[in-house]
Amino acid sequence: MRTEPFAAVDVIRAKRDGGRLSDEQIDWTIDAYTRGAIAEEQMSALAMAIFLRGMDSAEIARWTGAMIESGERLDLHVSRPTVDKHSTGGVGDKITLPLAPLVAACGAAVPQLSGRGLGHTGGTLDKLESIPGWRAELSTAEIVKQLDEIGAVVCAATEGLAPADRKLYALRDVTSTVESIPLIASSIMSKKIAEGSAGLVLDVKTGSGAFMKTREQARELARTLVEIGTAHGVATTALLTDMSVPLGNAVGNAIEVAESVDVLRGGGPADVVELTLALAREMLALAGLSEVDPAEVLASGRAYETWCRMISSQGGDPEASLPKPQHIHVFEAPRDGTLSTLDAYSVGVAAWRLGAGRARRGEAVQYAAGILCLAKPGDPVVAGQPLLELHTDTPDAVPAALASLDGGVLVTDSAPAREPGSIVLETVRPS
């Protein structure tokens, strides 16, 4: 039997009592947990100790490095500069869908290894899987080939990428230890650094629909992410963006794909276009392509062409009709006035309850379920006017969805309209 250099109980006690973990303790903890030599209950206790006591920058950097080393690194030898985007997750956040083909059409290579949704935030792969025939699982060779030929890949992370995070994230999910800056930052960055992209733009959400409810927390997370990326030689920038209101009008799976296609065809909601272009500019700057104007490329139709090639290359039919819901419930304005609140978290939970998301890993999602927002904060409305469409294949889910909208959709006498240009709140660059 292998002799272990540390005992898990001593590592837990050190962190529980507010101490810092040594490099050797961190390397051993991640390695031993990955190979099953630290029990799930011990890792649960350590995750809670980290949640409560925090970690300093050196501990976070080492913890991230150990998680990267737990698996393989992708070797993305392609002819274009590689740059990726990661969002900390929000409601109606379909930005990857128009962004990846847009940045590819501008000349970069975008390797978007994405996840499935859990809880009230949707998952990019669930959205794309609503396209008939589309396949999320690709081999490393297929990823590299598609990046070289088309410039954009959105697919599932390969099994071997940061396996320590895969295990730890599932554990954090059921032990209430997700919302910890050291644990979130190391989780995101271990996967992104192992993915092998040279540049990375982080979309750090703040507001009711985000993990980080306050701007201060979001700023701290953004700084931590940028610090880790820079320390690992990845050119990293973060945008702090508003997630108090759902992004765009569509929240769900197939309806978010449809809205993304509208953007790629030159239309779509103003906030989705604004954020797509802001992220594209940052990505192009990191890729050394700042002379290319993404707004021009979007208007030219070249991003839409790249989208069609990207979807077809993964077996999908970009022209196929998308799944339609079996039932639509219309939510009406209760009075005349102005829509003053459309709370992202409430809408996200309602869409999830309608079947757009899953409560447990591995559950199936309904591709047609979701919410279509027919008005946004600042819009004048009259009593009886449809404000939201609730889409589902299971009408029994409607009362629970309506309950989660209670207090989250308000009509008052007046309210300020949301200013154009107010989605991006701050930019965080390496110091």
Taking the CA atoms of the chain, what radius of gyration do you get in angstroms?
A: 22
- Of 185 and 284, CB closest to ligand URA: 185
Residue 63 engages ligand URA in binding (rule: CB under 6 A): no
Residue 304 engages ligand URA in binding (rule: CB under 6 A): no
Residue 150 engages ligand URA in binding (rule: CB under 6 A): no
| Placement of tokens 């909208």 in the chain | 405
In sequence order, what are the residues at sequence separation of 6 or more whose Cβ sits closer than 8 angstroms to the Cβ of residue 59? 20, 21, 26, 182
Task: Report the residue from 45, 154, 188, 349 that binds ligand URA according to the rule CB under 6 A.
Answer: 188
Residue 108 engages ligand URA in binding (rule: CB under 6 A): no
Q: Quote the crossing angle between the two packed helices 140-149 and 302-313, to the nearest 10°.
A: 160
Is there a catalytic annotation at residue 191?
Answer: yes
- Residue 241 CB: number of other CB atoms within 10 A? 29
- Of 202 and 273, CB closest to ligand URA: 202
Is there a catalytic annotation at residue 23?
Answer: no
Is there a catalytic annotation at residue 165?
Answer: yes
CB of 60 to ligand URA, least distance (A): 13
Are 336 and 384 a contacting pair, CB within 8 Å?
A: no
Which residue is nearest to ligand URA, using beta carbons?
Answer: 187
CA dihedral of 80, 81, 82, 84, whole degrees rounded to 10: -120
Is there a catalytic annotation at residue 172?
Answer: yes
For residue 175, the SS3 value is coil
Counting Cβ atoms within 10 Å, is residue 112 exposed (0-12), middle (13-18) or buried (19+)? buried
Task: Report the residue from 99, 128, 153, 184 that binds ligand URA according to the rule CB under 6 A.
Answer: 184
Is there a catalytic annotation at residue 13?
Answer: no
Stretch that binds ligand URA, among 10-18, 48-56, 94-102, 180-188 (CB under 6 A): 180-188
Residue 225 engages ligand URA in binding (rule: CB under 6 A): no
Stretch that binds ligand URA, among 184-192, 201-209, 300-308, 362-370 (CB under 6 A): 184-192
- In the set 84, 165, 203, 379, the catalytic residue is 165
Give me the sign of the Cα torsion angle 224, 226, 162, 169. positive
For residue 237, the SS3 value is strand
Binding site for ligand URA (CB under 6 A): 88-89, 169, 178, 183-184, 187-188
Active-site residues, by number, are 86, 165, 172, 187, 191
